[in-house]
Amino acid sequence: MKIFATLARGSLIAYTALFFAFIYIPLALIAVYSFNANPVNMMTWTGFTTEWYAQVLGFKTKISENALYLESTSQLVEALWNSLIIATSTTAIATVLGTAIAIAVYRFDFFGRRFYRTIMFMPMLMPDIVLGIALLIFFVNSGINLGLKTIIIGQCTFLISYVFIVVSARLAGMDRTLEHASADLGANEWTTFRKVVFPQLLPGVVGGALLAFIISMDDLVITYFIAGVDVTTLPMFIFAMLRRGIKPEINAIAVMMLTFSFVIASLGLYLRSRQK
């Protein structure tokens, strides 16, 4: 019986190791192969090079003499720039609105509270293609030109939900005795909010903002439908590249994006996890 238990335990641990390998080995592979010099088959190792990175970052390389490659680099920079503009704007809007509604739902008692809580989960649960086409029909019917503006509005509809969830988790875990103490000691509501509630809330707000930023940077489906013809974001650029055929520099772009997401998301998740 003891042998069985040990065996079961061992295989469970081995399984979990495989589980993590399944998640992370592909990510590690892409990092390794982004330094592969083979320009034709990216999965056949022929030598170490940093040329693809240099290429993406716009340095002069042997390949960049080729006019075709040059063109795609300037498009890439433009796509990146668009993504950054969009992510910054959506983060600002979604953070303010998401925090406001979280405070309202968790600190006020009013008719329709349950309704608001439910409706805040809707944009997250909704398949993104449905939200994407609904927004497309809406914008076209109301005569708004598709572009950066519509992407920002469209992304906010679901990013508010993410901020709401992170901030409300923080609010739900907060100790209210401090607020009561502050009120008992004569601080007015605004002072209490500023000096007691807000400092406690801040990690949640920052965490929510970081997650909103990263999700906005990575959003493909909704953006794809409401971007119109002139604006391309980074995920759209890669999607288009993948549909045309794969070039080795995608590896380098992918690794840089992964690194960037890892850093921001780690920070966001860290802030979110510091509940107590």
Q: How far is CA 23 from its chain centroid?
A: 18
Q: Which is nearer to other proteins, 60 or 273 (CB)?
A: 273
Q: How far is the CB of 116 from other proteins (least distance, A)?
A: 8
Q: Which is nearer to other proteins, 60 or 159 (CB)?
A: 159
How far apart are the C-alpha atoms of 257 and 179, rounded to whole Å? Answer: 42
Ordered DSSP codes for 71-132: HHHHHHHHHHHHHHHHHHHHHHHHHHHHHHHHHHHHH---TTHHHHHHHHHHHHHS-HHHHH
Q: Which is nearer to other proteins, 60 or 246 (CB)?
A: 246
Q: How far is the CB of 269 from other proteins (least distance, A)?
A: 6
Q: Which is nearer to other proteins, 56 or 67 (CB)?
A: 56
| β-pair partners for 48 | 36
User: What is the identity of the amino acid at 95?
Assistant: T
CA dist list (Å): 59 to 32, 34, 64, 69 = 21, 17, 8, 12
Q: Which is nearer to other proteins, 67 or 111 (CB)?
A: 111
Q: Which is nearer to other proteins, 178 or 257 (CB)?
A: 257
For residues 230, 234, 240 and 246, what is the CA-based torsion angle, rounded to 10 degrees? 150
* CB contact set of 154 (below 8 Å; sequence gap of 6+): 131, 132, 135, 139, 222, 223, 226
C-beta separation of 95 from 163 below 8 A:
yes
**DSSP one-letter code for 201:** H
Q: How far is the CB of 164 from other proteins (least distance, A)?
A: 9
Q: How far is the CB of 273 from other proteins (least distance, A)?
A: 7
